Every structure is written in structure tokens, then in C-alpha cells.
Amino acid sequence: MKRFFLFIFLLSVLAQASAAADGEPLRGAAELSARADALYAAGRADSAIVVARLAVAEARRAADRAAELGALASLGVYQRSSGHPDEALRTYEAALRLAVGADLSDSAMAENVATLYVNLATLYVDEQQKEQALAYARRVAAMRPRLRSADFLTQTDPVLGSVFLVCGRNAEAEPFLRRAVASARAAGAADQELQALCYYAVVLWRQGKTAELRAAQRRAVGLAARTSDFMTLVNYYQTSALIFMQQQEWGRTAEVLRRLLDLPAIDAYPYVVYDAYNNLHRCYAARGDWRQAYATLEQATTLRDSIFAAEKSTAMEEMAVKYETREKEWQLKESEALRAAEARRFRRRLAAAGGVAVVLLLFGAVVYLRGRVRTERERRRAEELAREYAELERTAEQRATRRYLDGLESERERLAGELHDGVQGDLLAVEMGLRDALPAGSPWTDRLRSARENVRDIAHGLLPPVFREATLDDVLWDYLGQLDGRGGVAVTYRCVCPDAPWTELPRTVALGVYRIVQETVTNCLKHAGAHSVDVTLDWAAPAALHLTVADDGHGMEGRQRAASAGLAGMRRRAAAMGGALDCTTGPEGTRLELRVDDFRSVRA
């Protein structure tokens, strides 16, 4: 099902390109939509949601109905792929209100409406509501004579064919996929032809057309040898492996999976590699080759350990800091020893001067003064070294704290991936199995779906946002706006200086502030029994931040144990930013303040 998202993304990009071709260059809502598509293509769905909402607001401000419809259609895709089908459905409802009565003689509007219907069809396919999916797919099929863009039809036909294919309508899927193959072949687009052939081969296999299937597979082999598009080859190998596995041709399945693992850039997609090793394990086990089966299973198991390889790069920096610290400590001790030796020499000179005549008193005084000056100089030097040592020690501690937080964020991302692609996938498999095994309307499938959605929410809460396209102010506005009203608690957010240069804020500081807000507001909602939570963010020139989170709950006494570990973690984040965290609590509520006086020295 994930391959559908790639087709829908291509439709969104095509709609934006058509809008630019019919009018002026991309700007305003269209430019924001293009940025959101780029973020989504890079796997940053949460950040794409934030930017897409800005695109919807800009289109409404400009009263551009077609642009608003296109932005809403894309936003629904991002929300759906992020594990929020309910939010996606509300977004699609708003888009459908715009689509009713739309002027389909306008090519841009017609393509946006068709894109919306295709997205809704794939949403209902994901939710196993195949009749609704078929209804929207058939609407797009009926609109086909109005869609005059050949490029748009080339992208739409394989998507519609895929929807009919998943819904078990092989006869309806065949003409769309056959047309997609033919148009791609006529245009000489090897990549698109190979993509369409992958799905067309599944139709032929289901219809039992063995001869045509073999011909399509031979054609696909030739196209695969000519194409260099990575995702097209991945899709081809995965689909071929699926057909061979269903036919229990274990040798050919293993050969295809080995070619998949030989792709040059495949190591950048560890979950695809993990899935390939798992399937290879099944192939070897089915053939009785237990040695190879165990070896591939071991490779899949140890694959996740590779994410920790990046930690090795910090070893040299840590070693250098330790060496410099010890060197300064040694210089400090040496200076103290020199000062003590000079003091002893001074005492000896003073004792000798007592037995010298009055004539030598002046000379003794000079020696005394010289000794005092030298002693003072050494004392100041020792104090300077002590200050340098203290500053170096503070820097080393701050680096260690940042390294700890970087490891924490890396672990959060790893856990998010495990939950989203591991546990959530297992729950989905169990849910699908129970749906076939239990009668319709069984409460167990609803419970499994609820558990799966909770796992998705936890996984996306662990992922850090991207501060390249959306600023800290945008991310907080979006995140806290989603929490407003949850559990009957009013959550408000105010930025004192929205026109500040938020794009210049280092990512380390932005992520630290976001995590502190996330931890504090979560504690308020879970433990405080509050009716309202107020979050205020201020930027004081030139580089100072002030964050305040206040609630009207019953104070921390009742939730002290739950919040103590969180407070310790937040104080570590504040220290890594060169700031300080203060928390006051009482029966009237709790107030947390973060102050960062100068974040310019913080590593981006």
C-alpha cells in the first residue's frame, strides 16, 4: 500500500506544475504546496503537514478555490500516511465541499478534483471500505474525457488500475493498466512502463493468463536492465518476488531478492533490506537450506545495530576534550608549585636581610618588592589558569550533555521506526487475520485498530520535527493547536514577537525548546487536573529566549514522582542550550520558565 503514496505524490506535483504553466511562476499557496510535497517526498510527513496547512490558509486568503482544493487534497495524503485517518477524512470533507459545483471546464480545477477522488479512493482502500473506494475510482474514470493533459492521464491510469486491483476488480483494472503500459511505451518512458507492468503482471497472474504473464515478465526484465530509477527498480523486484513467492518458486524468488539487495543505494533504506532478508529466510527455509536460512535471519537481526555506528564519530572529539582538560589541570598544578617555591625563596631572603646592616635595608626592600610583584604575577597566572580550567570543564560537561541528548533523539527515532514499521505492522497483520477469522462487527477488530492507532500516535510523537521549512513558531502553533480541547483542557499559545528571525535559530535550540514544551504540556494534561494551559514564547534581541508554560492545576505534589524524571531531563536540555529552567508550583497551579540568555554559541 505504501507504493500508492508515491503515485499520489506525483499527482500532486503534476497539479502544481499545471497551475504554474497556466499562470504565473510558483508563489504564495502554490509555492508552499510545492515545499510541502518536497518534505513529504523526503519522508518528513509531520513537517509537510505544517507547511500544507499554511498553503491552505494562503489559498483561502487569496480566494483561489482551485489552489485551496489542491492544497487540501495533498494535506489529506500527508495526514493519512502519518497515521491520522480521522484528520485526513475531515480534510477531505472540506475539499469535497469545494469540489461540489466546481467548474470542470477549467483544466486545473478538473485535475485537482480528479486528484481528490483518487486520494479518497486510496484512503478507503486503506480502511478496507472497498465499495466506497470503487465509487470514487469510478468517478475519476467517468471524468476521464474531461482530463486533457496526457501527462496527468499517464500518472492517473496506473493509480486507478491499482485501486481496482486491490479491490479485486481485475477486469476493471486491466484496461487502465494496459493503457498505462501502452502510453508509457509509446512515450519511451521506461521507468513509467516498468511501474505499470509491475501491477499489470499481478492482474495477469490473478486471471491465470500464464502466457501473457511470462511475456510481461520478459518485457519487465528488459526494462529493468535499461532503467536506473532506484524506486522503480525496488518496486519491480518487490512485485516480482511477491508473484514468485505465491507460485512457490523459491529459487527465482531468492534470485530476485538478491538483485534487490545488490542495488547500489539500497543500504539507505534499511527497512527494505530488512524485509528482503526476512523473505530470503523464508525461501531458504522452504528449500531446506537451513544454513543460509539462519545466516539471512542473523543478518536481518543485526541490521538494526548499524544505526549506532554514527556514535563512533564522537569518540575522537571526546578524547581531545579529555586530553585538553588534563593538560590544563597539569599546568594549574605546576603554577601552584612554582608559586609555593617562590614563597619559600622569599622567606629565606627576608630572614637573611634581618642580619644585614641598615645600608642594605634598601636593597632588601627592593628584593622584597620584586618578590611580591613576581608572586602576584604568579598568583594571577594561577587564577587565570583556574578560570580556564573551570571554563573548559563547563564546556566538556555541556558537550557531554549535548552528546547525551543527541543519543536520546537518535534512540527516539529508532524507537519510532520500530513502533511504526514493526509493532504497528504486526498489529495490522493480526487485525487482518482476525477480520477474516471473526464474524463481521466483532469488537476485537475495533480494539486492535485502536491499539494500532495508539502505537502510530506514540511513534509520531517520538519523531523530531524539521525546522528547515517550518520554524519553531510554526511547529509550536501546529502542535499546541492539535492539543487544544483534548480532555476538556484549553491549550493556548502566544508568540510575543512573531516577526523575529526564527529561521536563524539553531536547530539544537529549536529542538530543545520543542521537547521541553512537549514534556511540560503532556505532564499538565496527564497529571495536573488543569482546566487551561498557557504557553508563551518570547525572543529578546539579540539572541535570548524566554519560554513560559503555566497551568491552573493542583500543583506538583500529587504528580511529583511522575514529573521528577521529566524535570531532570528538561534541565539537561536547558543546560545544553546554555540556559536555566525554573519551576514553581502550588495549589493554584504550576509555572515553568526557561531562560536562554545567548544561544549564538550553541552548536546548530
Predicted local confidence at residue 562, as pLDDT = 47
Q: What is the pLDDT of residues 518-553, one digit of tens each?
A: 888 888 888 888 889 999 999 887 888 999 999 988
Residue 412 buriedness (CB in 10 A; 0-12 / 13-18 / 19+)? middle
Amino acid at the residue 102 = A
Task: Among 251, 271, 287, give the residue marking a domain's end.
Answer: 287
Q: Which residue, among 594, 590, 598, has the nearest Cα to 574 in the 3D structure? A: 594
* Inside any domain, residue 415: no
Give the Cα separation of 199 and 580 in Å (integer).
Answer: 57
- Pair (144, 236) in one structural domain: no
Predicted local confidence at residue 33, as pLDDT = 87
- Pair (245, 137) in one structural domain: no
Q: What is the CATH number of the domain that holds 512?
A: 3.30.565.10
Predicted local confidence at residue 420, as pLDDT = 54
- Pair (136, 244) in one structural domain: no
Give the Cα separation of 282 and 176 in Å (integer).
Answer: 34
Average pLDDT over residues 304-314: 44
Give the Cα separation of 276 and 254 in Å (integer).
Answer: 9
Which one has a higher pLDDT value, 596 or 431? Answer: 596
Grid coordinates given for 371: 618578590
Domain count, the chain: 3
Predicted local confidence at residue 201, as pLDDT = 81
> Does residue 318 register a pLDDT over 50?
no
- Pair (233, 125) in one structural domain: no
Grid coordinates given for 296: 539471512
Taken in order 322, 328, 329, 330, is the CA torsion positive or negative?
positive
- Pair (120, 235) in one structural domain: no
> Does residue 320 register a pLDDT over 60?
no
> Does residue 593 register a pLDDT over 90?
yes
Predicted local confidence at residue 492, as pLDDT = 93
The confidence band for 592, taking pLDDT boundaries of 50, 70 and 90, is very high
Task: Among 270, 287, 304, give the residue marking a domain's end.
Answer: 287
Give the Cα separation of 240 and 235 in Å (integer).
Answer: 8
Predicted local confidence at residue 547, as pLDDT = 93
Predicted local confidence at residue 494, as pLDDT = 93
* Inside any domain, residue 343: no
Q: What is the pLDDT of residues 138-163, one digit of tens each?
A: 888 888 777 777 777 777 788 888 88
Q: Which residue, among 403, 412, 320, 322, has the nearest Cα to 576 in the 3D structure? A: 403
Q: Which residues neighbour 537 within 8 Å (Cβ) at sequence distance 6 or greater?
A: 472, 473, 476, 493, 494, 495, 496, 513, 545, 546, 547
Q: For 169-183, 237-251, 325-339, 568-582, which range has the lowest pLDDT when averaged over its residues? A: 325-339
Q: What percentage of residues in the chain have a pLDDT greater than 70?
A: 77
Sheet with 589-596: list strands edge to edge.
490-495, 532-540, 544-551, 589-596, 579-586
Which one has a higher pLDDT value, 448 or 174? Answer: 174
- Pair (242, 128) in one structural domain: no
- Pair (5, 139) in one structural domain: yes
- Pair (143, 280) in one structural domain: no
Residue 472's CB: how many other CB atoms inside 10 A? 25
Which residue shows C-alpha cell 598568583? 379
Average pLDDT over residues 86-90: 82
Predicted local confidence at residue 87, as pLDDT = 85
**Residues pairing with 583 in the sheet:** 592
Predicted local confidence at residue 405, as pLDDT = 60
Predicted local confidence at residue 401, as pLDDT = 62
- Pair (481, 585) in one structural domain: yes
What is the average pLDDT value for the chain, to the nearest integer? 77
Give, in order, the Cα–Cα distances in Å from 386 to each of 321, 390, 398, 507, 598: 17, 6, 18, 33, 24
* Inside any domain, residue 413: no
* Inside any domain, residue 74: yes
> Does residue 356 register a pLDDT over 80?
no
The confidence band for 348, taking pLDDT boundaries of 50, 70 and 90, is confident
Q: What is the CATH number of the domain that holds 141?
A: 1.25.40.10
Q: Say if residues 64 and 30 touch (Cβ distance below 8 Å).
A: no
Average pLDDT over residues 493-498: 89
Predicted local confidence at residue 312, as pLDDT = 39
* Inside any domain, residue 187: no
Domain that holds residue 240: 228-287
- Pair (14, 133) in one structural domain: yes
State pTM to two decimals. Answer: 0.42
* Inside any domain, residue 386: no
Give the Cα separation of 552 and 50 in Å (integer).
Answer: 29
Q: What is the pLDDT of residues 411-440, one digit of tens each?
A: 666 665 566 566 766 666 676 677 677 776
Give, in order, the Cα–Cα distances in Å from 493 to each of 474, 534, 583, 597: 11, 6, 19, 22
> Does residue 500 register a pLDDT over 50?
yes
- Pair (117, 26) in one structural domain: yes
- Pair (19, 110) in one structural domain: yes
Strand residues in 513-567 grouped as ranges (E) = 532-540, 544-551
Q: What is the pLDDT of residues 182-227, one digit of tens each?
A: 888 887 777 777 877 888 888 888 888 888 878 888 887 888 788 8
* Inside any domain, residue 320: no
* Inside any domain, residue 107: yes
> Does residue 129 register a pLDDT over 80?
yes
Which one has a higher pLDDT value, 123 or 482? Answer: 482
Predicted local confidence at residue 604, as pLDDT = 53
Q: What is the pLDDT of residues 454-494, one digit of tens each?
A: 776 665 566 566 565 678 888 888 888 888 888 888 999 99
Q: What is the pLDDT of residues 52-66, one digit of tens each?
A: 899 999 989 988 888
Which among 8-17, 312-321, 351-360, 376-385 has the top mean pLDDT? 376-385
Task: Among 287, 322, 354, give the residue marking a domain's end.
Answer: 287
DSSP string, 34-58: HHHHHHHHTT-HHHHHHHHHHHHHH
Predicted local confidence at residue 1, as pLDDT = 41
